[in-house]
Amino acid sequence: MAQNPPDDPRIRELRAMREKARQGGGADRIAKQHQKGKLTARERIELLLDPGTFNEQEAYITHQGDELGVNTERYLGDGVITGYGQIDGRLVYVYAQDFTIYGGTLGEMQSRKICRVMDLALRNGAPIIGLIDSGGARIQEGVKSLGAYAEIFRRNAQYSGVIPQISVMLGPCAGGAAYSPALTDLIIMVERNSYMFLTGPEVIKAVTGEIIDPESLGGSDIHMSVSGTAHLSAPDEQSALALCRRALAYFPSNNIENPPYQNPQDDVLRMDDSLNNIIPLDPNIPYEMQDVIQTIVDQGTFLEIQPHWAENAIIGFARMGGHSVGIVAQHPSVMAGVIDIDASDKIARFVRTCDCFNIPLITLVDSPGFLPGISQEHGGIIRHGAKILYAYSEATVPKISVIIRKGYGGAYVVMSSKYLGTDINFAWPSAEIAVMGAEGAVNIVYRKQIESAPDPAAERARLAQEYRQKFNNPYYAASAGYIDEIIEPRETRLKLIAALAALRDKYSPAPPRKHGNIPV
């Protein structure tokens, strides 16, 4: 609706100031942003939030000092837009760095704005979402810009596990600035248009002589598949912002609330006979764990996290009967589902994220053990594997495990085994729970008997079959109380939803302490 020109000059001035603030760094710089295929900060906020719900704060702040005297103009907002709005009708706080003003660089006043909106998010128990597009610290403000970053980092750490924090990387994030996203719960990157690194290509070339471009150094492909820093990626900004909305739907607004419930579009009593035939009779033949997950969760709700890093482990959010759950599983088609250093870190961080925000954990177990090798031992597989133990033992949310096939040795113990405090433990008839596989066990226990046999190979095969029949089945473990129920695979969805309902009011307070000391 067109506005009539006001008679009051003060109203005219207000409208002019509002329009000036909306223009950011000016029409030319907005055009340059668009030419790069990038949206402006305000356009991003409009896409992220429910239409018409954004309320801006501190739009007229400007930078207060310039010792170098290089800033000839003060821009309203000082390179960041902050405020609050709604996503799916839920309150969220947001800040969006504006690259059209000083390249989105962070100085004292921009930091104050970001810290202010973070504080409000905490006080009101609402998520905080950062839309990152910045050249880093504002050099012309000197040490003030470094202190400004420290104020943000401190809040990222102190508010961790209290309110969800999500970083959407929509451009560069260089230098110490990258530590803020790294402290948040989820990092979403835009492919070929966002990157993170501590030292850029030019500095690396000067110091080490290595030559590399920004994308190969810290683009989304690197952080999604090599470093494990990012959690999700999207081909463009619109998709990244939509992905942020989707991911947030699995989180509560704070650590006191439960995750939001959505009316299920899938039959909670559904059983799928295809699961009864999904596990090969030969334990050495792989299968697709993704098919198991997609079959048992509410259809279309599985959101895999870090899908291209440590692919021998699978983590992600889903819904079961409309309720948010966290899924942890091994991937038998990748490295036979063994647990290595990266998989340990991936699983442990996800388990702790779910525990922070009251998201029940469902663990699907099929792992022959931890990855052996000199590089793994020297790289600290003991320390990294202990992170999984710590995370599951510490978690007080409802925990349910399903042993699909192999649960050998330490891999069985760390993956939400019963005596780590898991509430309900199911097993499929294909489950093999033992210290190790049958062949490895008989080679150790019956080594002399096998060597002295007329036909060592035949004797080894016979003993392995006996061992397998006695130990590598769920009934032996169930007889000792390690399994609560052996179920048909087709019943898994039904059993899990019933178990989640039974555990919904679980109360398991942690012992009083300042905090634990997880191996890092």
Least confident window among 55-69, 124-138, 344-358: 55-69
Q: Both tokens of residue 419?
A: 């005596």
Q: Cα–Cα distances in Å, from 242 out to 118, 247, 306, 403, 453?
A: 22, 9, 17, 34, 65
Using one digit for the tens of pLDDT, what is the confidence trace for 24-42? 888 888 999 999 989 999 9
Pick the catalytic residue from 77, 85, 171, 175.
175
Look at residue 72 in the predicted model and tell me its pLDDT: 60
Q: Which of 176, 200, 409, 421 is catalytic?
A: 176
pLDDT over 70 at 67, yes or no: no
| Of 125, 409, 410, 421, catalytic | 410
d(CA 150, CA 116): 14
Are the C-beta atoms of residues 44 and 54 closer than 8 Å to each other?
no
pTM score, whole prediction: 0.93
Is 434 noted as a catalytic residue in this protein?
Answer: no
* % of the chain beyond a pLDDT of 70: 98
Least confident of 2-16, 125-139, 194-208, 227-241: 2-16
Nearest partner of 169 among 198, 189, 193, 152, judged by Cα = 189
Tokens of 108: 């004292």
409 catalytic, yes or no? no
**Tell me, what's the pLDDT at 471?**
78
CATH topology of domain 273-435+473-502: 2-enoyl-CoA Hydratase; Chain A, domain 1 (3.90.226)
> Distance between CA 394 and CA 383 in Å, rounded?
16
pLDDT band at 23 (very low <50, low <70, confident <90, very high): confident
Q: How confident is the model at residue 284 (pLDDT cuts 50, 70, 90)?
A: confident
- Closest to 49 measured CA to CA, from 104, 79, 89: 89
Indicate the DSSP class of residue 219: B
Amino acid present at 91: L
Nearest CA-CA partner of 162 in 123, 200, 191: 123
**Is 79 tagged catalytic?**
no
Average pLDDT, the chain: 93
Structure confidence at residue 156 as a pLDDT band (50, 70, 90): very high
Give span(s): CATH 3.90.226.10, the chain: 16-248, 273-435+473-502
Q: Look up the CATH number of domain 16-248.
A: 3.90.226.10
Of the candidates 230, 318, 411, 464, the residue annotated as catalytic is 411
Could you confirm whether 175 is annotated as catalytic? yes
